[in-house]
Amino acid sequence: MNKPSQIILDRLAISASVLCALHCIAGPLLLILFPTMLALPVGDHFYHMLMVWFIIPTSSIAVFLGCKKHKDPTVLGLALIGMAVLAVAAIYGHDLFGETGEKLATVFATMILASAHWRNYSLCRKDKCEHEHD
C-alpha cells in the first residue's frame, strides 16, 4: 500500500471516529426530536458493532503503515488503547457501564483513537512524505 493510501486511511478513520462520537452524543437528542426514528431497524448495538468492524481494520492498517515509517510508539499506544476501549465498550459496555457509561466510554475511545490518527497524519506531513500535497 502506498503513502497516499495511509493518509486516506487516517482521514477515513478520523471521520469514522467522529461519526461514532456524534452518534453517541446526538442519538438521544434525535430520538427526542424525531421519535419515529425508533421504528428504524438499526439498533444501538448493531450500529456499535458495525462501527467496530469498520474502525478497527481501518485504524489498524493506517497505524501500521504510519508506525512502519515513523516508528512512533505514542501513535501505536494511543491506537491500541483506543481500539481496545472501543471494542470493550461496543461488546460489553452496556452490561459493564450501563447505557450512559457505554456512550461515555465510546466517546472517550474515539477521542483517543482520533488523536492517534491525527498524530500519525501530522508526523507524516512533518516528515514531508510524498503525499504532502493532499
pLDDT digits (tens, 9 = 90+) for 31-77: 666 666 556 655 566 767 777 788 888 888 888 887 777 788 999 99
Rounded Cα distance, 111 and 75, in Å: 13
Mean pLDDT, range 71-97, rounded to an integer: 89
Rounded Cα distance, 58 and 91, in Å: 18
Question: What are the sequence ranges of the domains in the chain?
Answer: 3-126
Residue 84: pLDDT band by 50, 70, 90 thresholds?
very high
Q: pTM to 2 decimals?
A: 0.69
- 123 and 79 in contact (C-beta within 8 Å)? no
- 108 and 26 in contact (C-beta within 8 Å)? no
More confident residue, 81 or 132: 81
